[in-house]
Amino acid sequence: MIEGLLGRKIGMTQVFSEAGEAIPVTVIEVGPCIVTQIRNKERDGYEAVQLGFGDVKPKSLTKPEQGHLAGAGRLVRHLREFDADNIEDHQVGQVLSADVFEPGQVDRCRHRSWSCLERYTYGRPYGQPPRNRAELAGC
């Protein structure tokens, strides 16, 4: 079985428990993910499956990226590698969706999104200009 899949956040909602408590949950669109490459021990030194997610137009990719994705049959925006128990179960061009997980299985989600403040202020308080070398050294 593969360690994870790629997806994007749709939004937030709430689910009510039997006790009547509102539990906040995140709605995520998972897949379809396309197997774009299979890493094996002989060639790469480790075993992994490279997945792609999110269709994209050809003009948004470079020629090397288009060539890399030609074997998979679809152009995708996001590429990530995941560990797999058995790489022989997967082949290039295979489409994976959320049905690889069992109902009730608890999964950990990782995200890679930044807020506007995190992206552009780099840890400084909002609105302050970048510090120069003397200010960073404490002089």
Instruction: Check whether 94 has a pLDDT greater than 60.
Output: yes
The pLDDT tens digits for 64-80 are 888 888 888 888 888 88
Residue 59 maps to a domain: yes
DSSP string, 93-105: T-EE-GGGSPTT-
C-alpha span between 55 and 133 (Å, rounded) = 43
Domain range holding 90?
A: 7-101
Residues written for the chain: 139
The pLDDT tens digits for 2-51 are 777 888 888 889 999 999 999 998 888 887 888 888 888 888 888 888 88
Instruction: Give which of 77, 42, 45 is closest to 58, Cα–Cα.
Output: 77
Instruction: Give which of 91, 86, 90, 92 is closest to 71, Cα–Cα.
Output: 92
Residue 1 maps to a domain: no
CATH number at residue 45: 3.30.160.810
Residue 64 maps to a domain: yes
Number of domains forming the structure of the chain: 1
